[in-house]
Each structure stands twice: as structure tokens, then as C-alpha cells.
Structure 1
Amino acid sequence: MATNLHTWTRVTCLDLQHLGQNIGNAALDGIKYWPESGEGRAVKAASERLFRLLEKTHDRSDLNYVFDNLDSVIAELKLVRENSYFKSHISSRIYKDRSGNRRTFKESLDSQIGGFDAFATVNRPKKVVSKAANEEPEGEFPLTPAAGDENSAQQLDEITPEQKAGPLQFEVRNSVLRIKKQPGRLNNEDKKSIIAARSALEENASSLAKLLSESNCDPRLIDVVKEVHDIIASGADVIRLGIVNFTCDYLFSRLSEEIPDVAAARFQGLNVAIGLYVAQFPEWHRFTENAAKAEIENEDIARTYDIGKAILPALRAARGLVDPEVPKSLELILEALKNPKLAGRRALFGVIRTLENLLAKIISEFANALWAVTEGARNGAKKATTVVVAGGLLLAVANTAANLSPTAERVIKATWLKQAADILRRGLKDAE
């Protein structure tokens, strides 16, 4: 018997509404345990956004509209699933669904997310795309360009901005997305003192990394200190160094009991010295001045952290297209938001700017290539696989852009993300 999509979507909306409401209630039940960095508030806010999205689907006969809205609901649930407060305080609690079944919240989330993705893949109604009379018939290759692809690519080219100064910028070399070095600008009168300071910092970071590697401390501490050392040694990426220093401070504070006293003392000196070092660069001053003007809200930090974490699996899975250093470096930048003392305007501004740069570079480099698939690519297994991987990465980029858009528009005045997400989603669906 054929599936009645209207019935299925109505039932699914009711199930998701019930689950979202109970997640919000569970978050409120533990309000006294909400971290200062906002993860508990973010879960509650997500449940409210989810409810509003589902309200819009009531009595809507346009199935494409309903499925698009459900896509956004599932994206919210995926963010909730990765939220640290949800994982620690809600995920293992028992949830009773509308049918009376009892499972943990995590199991229920996994079931709803997996169930929707599987069902939508097979049953989502295709959008009607007008085809020119002389257009080739569709083949078996899953990413054959559709009639609107050329317009989509042109629209993306027009709205996607150049990268701006931030903790990370990106480049594509040999068809692989990599971290792009941002050389620091030195004033001639300060050049000698800055070079001397950099040399001392490099030596101190190297000694601290060696000292930590000889202890039983958390490996993440060693990794972040090595990252600090490498950034200092490169003589570049001043903004990145300043933000990663926040991450370093957070991890040292959190894992202080594991750190030898000598290492802790050396870190405190290094932490202060890095702050003085980056303060000598005009790009750090411009960055902090822009961050000071940002309009932020209480839930922005936790929500942005969850959005950034959600794209990491797609970056790691895009083997051959994304250098492993990209998700590794992005994760260290994201961890700056966890610093209870410093996760304010500078860290938030830096993370959002980094995500904007990442999305802009991926879109500008890979969207056109994806939609320009030739007959030769269809016949080449390696090329076809690359295109499929790029399609998965672009879908993750579209979801990230849509989720980040409201905060990015307010904090860094990035008004292009929502439009880019809509164009990407439409283009990818048309190319199915």
C-alpha cells in the first residue's frame, strides 16, 4: 500500500512536537544545573524554535513546504543531541512518547532523526523543474545538473563574500581545503622586539609541551599547547593565537588537578605573555574593537558552539577534499567558547567569523564544481565519488548556514547566509 504523505507528515509533526516539548520541560526541570556558558538555556531555546517551526506546518497542503520545515526541525534536534548539557543531564532520562513507549531521550532523538532521514530519502516528493526541450534526459548518476543549476551557481557567486580577518581563513590547494596562513603585520619600529618576543614564546611553549608530555595529563592539553607552539613558530595567524589561548586557559583551568605545579606555573607565564604579544599587532586591535561592538544575546554562545560542533563530522568525512587540520583547528577555536571567564564577545565573534569564512570558501570552491559535473565525471568512479562527497559536504554547509544565520546577522552583520542556504538546498534537491 502506498504511503499517504499527508498523513505521515501530520503524525510525524505531532510526534516531534511532543518530543520537543518534553525536552524543553526536562531542561527546565534542571534549571539550577544550567552552566553559565548557556548550554541548558540553548536546549530550552531549541525546543521553543522547534515548536514554532512545527506550528507552521499545521494545515499546510504543500508537501515540499512541510518537508523543508521538517528538515529545519531535524537540524534543531541534531544540535540538541550534540549539546553538552543534553548529554550530561537529559539524554539518559526516560521519555514516554505519544504511543506510551518508554525510551531514553537519546534513543528517542536517534529514532526520530534516523527515521525521518530514511523516510525522506525514499518518499520526499520531487520538486517540479522545467526542462528545456533539448536537455539531456536524466541518467543514473545521482548528481546530474538540473536546469536551474547554472542560475543557482551564479546567485551563490554574487552573494558569497570574500573571507575577512578572523581566527581562521581557508584556501584550496591541489583541490583540497586547507588552513590559510594570515601573516602578521609588523611596524618597523617594533619589529625587532616582536621577533624577540616570538622567539621566547616559541621556546616556552616547546618546553611546556615537553613537560606535559612527561606527565599523565589529558592529551588534549598537550595537543593545544603544541598548537600554540606551531602558531607562534609560523609568525602568522595572530587572531587565531589569541583565541586558541582562551581554549588553552580553559583546559588548564578545567584539568588543573592533573597538571604538575611546575607546568601550571609555566603556563600562567605563557598565557600572560601571549596576551601581551598579540596586543602588539594592529589586526588583533581591530578584531577586538569589532567584537566589542557586537550585539550578543545570552544563548548565542551555547548555540554557536553546537552549530560549529555539528559540522565537524562532515568535514572529517570529506576525505580527499578537506585537510584533517581544518576540523582539528576549528574544534580548538570552538573550545574557546567553553572558557567561563573569557567566552564573551571576542570568542563568540571569532568563532562566528571563522564559520563564515569556512562556509564562504567551501561554497565558492565546491558548489560550482559540483553543478558542473560532466559526462566524463559520471563515467569516472574516482571523480564521481569526489562529487558525491562534495554534495554531502555542501548539504552540511547549507544546514550550518541556515542555523547560524540569525546569530551571524546580528553579531557580525553577515546577511548572506540564509539566502545561500536556501539556494544550496534548492540546487542540491534539483540535482538529485
Structure 2
Amino acid sequence: MKPDKLRNLLQEMDARVARMQRARKDHFAANLSWLRTEVQRLLSKVDTLRTSDIAALELTLSVIPINDLDRSSLSNLLLGMKIGLNLLGPEDVLDAVPGQKPAAFQFGFEGSRLVVVDQPLRTRERDKDIAEAAMEAATERGVYVGEQLAQSNCSPRLRESFKSLQDKLEARANIIQVGMYNQTCGRVLRGDVEELSPTLFELLRSHVELVFAAASQFDDWRVFRENAVDIDRESVAALSQSTLALVRDLKAQRETDPEVTAALDTVVGWTEDKEADKRDVLALTGTLQNLWSLAAKSALAKEVSSEGRKLVAKAIIAALLAVTTAGTLAAFGKVPGAEWIETTAAYFKSATEGTPPASPSPKSAPP
């Protein structure tokens, strides 16, 4: 990694420690001040940065009590510096890549084929009966709502939105999708309010509220909703554009199921809505993190079920790297918990650039 890349990582660490320092009112603010002094010292000698310098920063960070999100953020920056100094092997990166998290979509392999996978609905045992009853009530109500829409002269978009929601309710394969499709229904409903009778509008509005109440009984939707954060529209646009480019690349790969590219198109579509909010952004960034996680872990794993799966994972990584711009990485850096993507991308890019060209095959070798 070039010195300017290491300098950028140190500058970002300096900025984040400064924000943490301003937020602390206890005596540990002094520890953060000392950590920041060390970071600034290394900035002055970035051309001669050594292994021991990174180790010293890690040790200092390890004894400062900070929340898990901040610790993960700073640890990922240190990981990037290690990659820049060629201190990490595949096993180290594999350990640093988190597993897939509840999101709008998760991914997996069927044989060597990349597919979308279900996310079982989870709730606390004591709330299980209430949650199941709430979902059953929402599903049954959705059948009635669909019948009423079929008999009305509402717009095709409104009818299709509620049908998609009903499909998700009946499938019970992903509570976050239920919440997101329900959010879409609410938006379409507000846009069509002038075209609906008061009775039908009230029926649809109450159904949206019922579905949200049912979704709130499940842990994954609650956590998803609480973790949603706003980032600037330019960053969202950068992520959306790179995702659309990724869709085009993945469509050309026979080993990618069409549901995968449809899923990526869906999360981009949610962010492009003029009423898009922080949940839509998290649906996009969470889905992309899951794809990165699956591809990176499969490409680096020592043992996989087939060599074909590993080759597909490497092809996905190549596609991700091809569409990942500086703007995309900067956007991920603003999403809490997503900073690891920048360091993971740096590792794979470095590994790719360091791979010697393949020898020509006997058929292509010159006489």
C-alpha cells in the first residue's frame, strides 16, 4: 500500500478518535487524547511506519473502555494499516470478516450456484405465541385486503405493492423484507390517497399499521430498525451506482441465480424513492455487506465443499472490486459496522495485483 493510503487511514483514525474524545466527559478522555497524540506522531513518519507502531496502537486501544461499534471501527482501520504493510495473511483477513447479519437479503450457495437464502423469523421464547398470532392476523387480514383491491379501480402499482407484501407475509422467510415491503405500501398509499374512497384508504392504512405492529414482535426487525442511520445522499448514490454495475456483471455469470440480481435491484430501488429514509439505506448497505461477507469467507476458507464454489466466490470478489470506487468505500466508511469492507477490499486488491501473470497454456505458447 502506498504511503498516501496509510496516511488516509491514520487521518481517518485521528478524526474518529477526536469525535470520541469530544463525546467523553470522564477521565478516559485523557486516554483518548494520548491515543490521538500517538496517531498524529505516526502521521509525521508515515513513510517509515513499522509493525511495532501498529502493535503499540492496538495495545493502547485495547485498554480504553469504548463501545463495541467504536472499537470495531478503529480496529478495522488498524487492520487496513496491517494490510498496507503486508502483515496479514488470508487467515487473518478471514478472521476479521464478520458473518452475514439479518438484512433485507442474505446469500448462500447451492452447490456452486450463488442464491438468496431465507432468514428464519426469530423472537424471544416468551413472546413466541404473541408474535406468531400477530403474523397470522396480519396474513389473514392481507387476504381480505387483496380481495377488496381486486374489486376496486385502484392503480396497478398500489395493487401490486400490497400483493408483494402479502407474498412476503405468507412466505415468512424474512421479517425484514416484510417490514420493508410494508414501508413501500405505506408510501404508495400516501401517493394514491386522492384516488381512493375513504373506506378503502382506511382499510389499507390500518393494514399497514397492523403489519408494522406484527413485525415489531420479532427481534431482527427491531434490531434492523434501531441500527438504521442516515448518510448523505451523495454516498447513497455512489453505493447505488456501484450496485447497479455489479448487477450487470453478475447477470453475465451463469453461476448467479436471477434472484440474486433481482434482490440487488430491489434494494437499489428502495433508495431511489424520493421518500427513501435510513431504513432503505440500511437495506442496501446490509445486503451488500452480506454479499461481501459470503464471497470473502468462501474465497479465503481453507475448506469448502467444492473447488467450484471457491472459484465462484473469487469471481464475485472480482466483480465487487471492479465496481467498488473510492466513493463507494468512503460511503461504507460512514456506515457503522461496515468499515471492514474497505480493508477487505484492500487485501483482495493487493493480493490480485501481487499475483504473477499466468503462464501461457501449451496451445497458446509461441512455437
- Determine if the TM-score, normalized by the shorter chain, exceeds 0.5: yes
Native 8 Å contact 2:121 2:174 kept in 1: yes
Residue of structure 1 in register with 2:318 after alignment: 395
- When the two structures are aligned, how many residues end up with a matched partner? 267
Residue of structure 1 in register with 2:130 after alignment: 193
1:155-205 alpha-carbon deviations (Å, 9 max, x no partner): 652443211222222221222222222222233443333223222322344
Change (3 A) 1:398 1:251: farther
Change (3 A) 1:226 1:312: farther
Residue of structure 2 in register with 1:322 after alignment: 256
Native 8 Å contact 1:206 1:226 kept in 2: no
Q: In structure 1, what is the Cα distance between the partners aligned to 2:197 and 2:321?
A: 45
Residue of structure 2 in register with 1:301 after alignment: 236
Residue of structure 1 in register with 2:267 after alignment: 333
TM-score, normalising length: structure 1: 0.51
The Cα shift of 1:267 comes to 3.6
Q: In structure 2, what is the Cα distance between the partners aligned to 1:338 and 1:274?
A: 23
Tell me the secondary structure at the aligned position of residue 104 of structure 2.
coil
Residue 414 of structure 1 pairs with residue 324 of structure 2: no
The Cα shift of 1:233 comes to 2.1
Q: In structure 2, what is the Cα distance between the partners aligned to 1:404 and 1:217?
A: 39
2:288 pairs with one of 329, 332, 355: 355
The Cα shift of 1:355 comes to 0.8
Tell me the secondary structure at the aligned position of residue 424 of structure 1.
helix
Tell me the secondary structure at the aligned position of residue 268 of structure 1.
helix
Change (3 A) 1:153 1:277: same
2:277 pairs with one of 329, 344, 358: 344
Residue of structure 1 in register with 2:110 after alignment: 173
Residue of structure 1 in register with 2:100 after alignment: 163
Measured on the aligned residues, the alpha-carbon RMSD in Å equals 3.9
Change (3 A) 1:317 1:205: farther
Native 8 Å contact 2:135 2:215 kept in 1: no
The Cα shift of 1:357 comes to 0.7
Change (3 A) 1:213 1:243: same
Native 8 Å contact 1:221 1:248 kept in 2: yes
Native 8 Å contact 1:224 1:248 kept in 2: yes
Change (3 A) 1:359 1:263: farther
Native 8 Å contact 1:408 1:414 kept in 2: yes
Native 8 Å contact 1:314 1:393 kept in 2: no
Identity of aligned residues (%): 25
Native 8 Å contact 2:179 2:212 kept in 1: yes
Native 8 Å contact 2:165 2:178 kept in 1: yes
Tell me the secondary structure at the aligned position of residue 171 of structure 1.
strand
1:272 pairs with one of 209, 219, 240: 209
Change (3 A) 1:211 1:165: same
Native 8 Å contact 2:333 2:339 kept in 1: yes
Unaligned 5+ segments in structure 1 are: 1-150, 375-382
The Cα shift of 1:361 comes to 1.0
Residue of structure 2 in register with 1:313 after alignment: 248
Q: In structure 1, what is the Cα distance between the partners aligned to 2:195 and 2:264?
A: 25
Native 8 Å contact 1:315 1:393 kept in 2: yes
The Cα shift of 1:299 comes to 2.5
The Cα shift of 1:356 comes to 0.7
Residue of structure 2 in register with 1:137 after alignment: none
Tell me the secondary structure at the aligned position of residue 182 of structure 1.
coil
Residue of structure 1 in register with 2:82 after alignment: none
2:165 pairs with one of 208, 228, 235: 228
1:141-156 to 2 correspondence within 5 Å? Answer: 154=91, 156=93
1:8-27 alpha-carbon deviations (Å, 9 max, x no partner): xxxxxxxxxxxxxxxxxxxx
Q: Which one-letter code corresponds to 1:322 in the other structure?
A: T
1:55-66 to 2 correspondence within 5 Å? Answer: none
Native 8 Å contact 2:295 2:313 kept in 1: no
Q: In structure 1, what is the Cα distance between the partners aligned to 2:118 and 2:344?
A: 26
The Cα shift of 1:271 comes to 1.9
Tell me the secondary structure at the aligned position of residue 179 of structure 1.
strand
The Cα shift of 1:313 comes to 1.7
Q: In structure 1, what is the Cα distance between the partners aligned to 2:185 and 2:89?
A: 42
Unaligned 5+ segments in structure 2 are: 1-87, 359-367
Tell me the secondary structure at the aligned position of residue 411 of structure 1.
coil
Tell me the secondary structure at the aligned position of residue 170 of structure 1.
strand
Q: In structure 2, what is the Cα distance between the partners aligned to 1:332 and 1:390?
A: 22
1:235-282 alpha-carbon deviations (Å, 9 max, x no partner): 342222212323333445557788898875554333222211112223
Q: Which one-letter code corresponds to 1:171 in the other structure?
A: G
The Cα shift of 1:390 comes to 6.3
Native 8 Å contact 1:215 1:260 kept in 2: no
1:202 pairs with one of 139, 144, 149: 139
Residue of structure 2 in register with 1:124 after alignment: none
Native 8 Å contact 2:235 2:330 kept in 1: no
Tell me the secondary structure at the aligned position of residue 178 of structure 1.
strand
Native 8 Å contact 1:209 1:225 kept in 2: yes
1:369-404 alpha-carbon deviations (Å, 9 max, x no partner): 9xxx99xxxxxxxx7xx95x7665432211344453
